[in-house]
Amino acid sequence: MNLPEELRYTKDHEWVRIDGSIARIGITDYAQDALGDVVFVQVPDVGTAVAAGDTVSEVESTKSVSEIYAPLAGTVVAVNADLADAPQRLNEDPYGEGWICDIEVGDADLDGLLDAPGYQALVED
């Protein structure tokens, strides 16, 4: 399982990359593997205000439909529109071209997020 050390993770299998006041989010390698082949991704609208834990996206695979939750509160400032035509990017490159959206978070409170070893322990249990 690919688990970049620089990212933070949620117990719901989302990842977060913080760059200043912007949090880029997506689903983990573990999540995309559990989902199977992704066939559709619904991204949020730019400008949507979200609270931590709100549903921001929906991912449909050959196995199931899963909701994706905002790991942090803020406003959606960018979405990966390429996923409409290439949802398989979530499977092929979950930490790169498979990102879902960027949320402007201001001062991000990362206390509720897991580091890579913490997430590794979660998925091994």
Average pLDDT over every residue of 7-31: 95
pLDDT, tens digit (0-9, with 9 covering 90-100), for 55-104: 999 999 998 999 999 999 999 999 999 999 999 999 999 999 999 999 99
Q: Radius of gyration of the chain from Cα atoms?
A: 13
pLDDT, tens digit (0-9, with 9 covering 90-100), for 59-70: 999 989 999 999
pLDDT at 112 over 90: no
Distance of CA 84 to the CA centre of its chain: 16
Identify whether 119 is part of a domain.
no
As a whole number, the mean pLDDT across the chain is: 94
pLDDT band for position 16 (50/70/90)? very high
Q: What integer pLDDT is reported at residue 106 of this predicted model?
A: 77
pLDDT at 10 over 90: yes
Q: What integer pLDDT is reported at residue 2 of this predicted model?
A: 86
**Residue 6, both tokens:** 């620089």
CA distance 54 to 40: 20
For residue 42, give its domain range.
8-107
CATH of the domain at 19: 2.40.50.100
Element (H, E) at 124: helix 116-124
Identify whether 113 is part of a domain.
no
Dihedral Cα 16, 14, 99, 4, nearest 10 deg: 60
- State the greatest distance between any 2 C-alpha atoms of the chain, in Å, as a whole number: 38
Strands (E), 1-125: 8-9, 14-19, 22-27, 38-42, 49-50, 55-61, 65-69, 74-79, 101-104
Identify whether 1 is part of a domain.
no
pLDDT at 108 over 80: no
Tally of domains within the chain: 1
**By three-state DSSP, how is residue 32 classified?**
helix
